Amino acid sequence: MDKGSDLRQRLRELTVLDGPFRPVDFDSPPATPQQMFLDWFEAAVGAGVPEPHAMTLSTVDPAGFPDARVLILKNIDERGWHFAISTASPKGRQLQEQPAVALTFYWQKLGRQVRIRGTAMPLSAAESAQDFLERSVSARANARLHRQSQELDSPSSIRSAMAESIARINEQPEAVDPAWQVYVVRPLQVEFWQGAADRMHERLLFLRGSDQEWKTTRLWP
């Protein structure tokens, strides 16, 4: 058996959707996707799902090619889902060109996904400053380097730059990086997906209508 065939066989033998999973009630959903998300999030926390606040942020570059990376959810309110990045980063520059984004949460232990499509809107300078100052010293120091995804000179150059950045923060602990920005994803549609070992998955779509009210639809697996 060649290596490609061997890999295909190994992949096919790996366990997928190893239930049974908790039953889901899509017959009487909450009025908003935010409330349903919070219910599912609390279930994920209660089930011991690792890093339940981790999410994949998908953006597109000016040429239309998609990019995806895992970030941490910062908050959720009536406006939408919050995340924070440096506007000097590649994703920051992409958002300035094209604010249409997608968020994806996957909680393997529960067999659940939440898929969000919407528009990333920058929040106020005060909210961004608060988030920045709540970060650890090392996280603030790294953000202030503005070197994300740039070519690496050497490992020693990272350590030297970080040490200098940490020293500046210790001298001015209340200083805020002006490039740090909190965004809220204003959702246009949110899909809740409950997987099943027999592939009879259940899906519920929240779609924002022209009247800004949410409408729900059950979808085929």
Look-up of token digits 């979808």 = 219
Residue 169 lies in a domain: no
Residue 163 has a pLDDT of 85
- Count the helix, strand and coil residues of the chain and give each as a percent rounded to the nearest 5: 35, 30, 35
pLDDT for 149 equals 59
Structural domain including 39 reads: 16-125+185-219
Predicted pLDDT at 155: 67
112 SS3 class: strand
Q: Residue 213 above 60 pLDDT? A: yes
Give the pLDDT mean for 106-113.
97
Q: Is residue 135 part of a domain?
A: no
Beta bridge partners of 186: 119
Q: Would the pLDDT of 101 be above 90?
A: yes
pLDDT at 34: 98
Domain assignment present for 207: yes
Would residue 77 count as lying in a domain?
yes
Higher pLDDT, 190 or 144: 190
- Asked if 203 and 193 touch (Cβ cutoff 8 Å), the reply is yes
Neighbours of 162 (CB within 10 A): 15
Cis amide leading into 155 (omega within 30): no
Least Cα distance to 181 among 128, 138, 217 occurs for 128
Question: DSSP secondary-structure letter at 67?
Answer: E
The CATH number of the domain holding residue 50 is 2.30.110.10
User: Cβ distance 213 to 131 under 8 Å?
Assistant: no
How far is residue 144's CA from residue 142's CA, in Å, rounded to a whole number? 5
- The pTM assigned to this predicted structure is 0.91
pLDDT one-digit tens code per residue, 55-86: 999 999 999 999 999 999 999 999 999 999 99
Segment 100-128 mean pLDDT: 98
Percentage of the chain beyond pLDDT 70 is 95
Encode pLDDT of 150-159 as tens digits: 565 666 777 7
- Per-residue model confidence as pLDDT tens digits over 157-167: 777 888 888 88
Assess if residue 161 is contained within a domain. no
Summarised one tens digit per residue, pLDDT across range 21-52 is 988 999 999 999 999 999 999 999 999 999 99
Domain count, the chain: 1
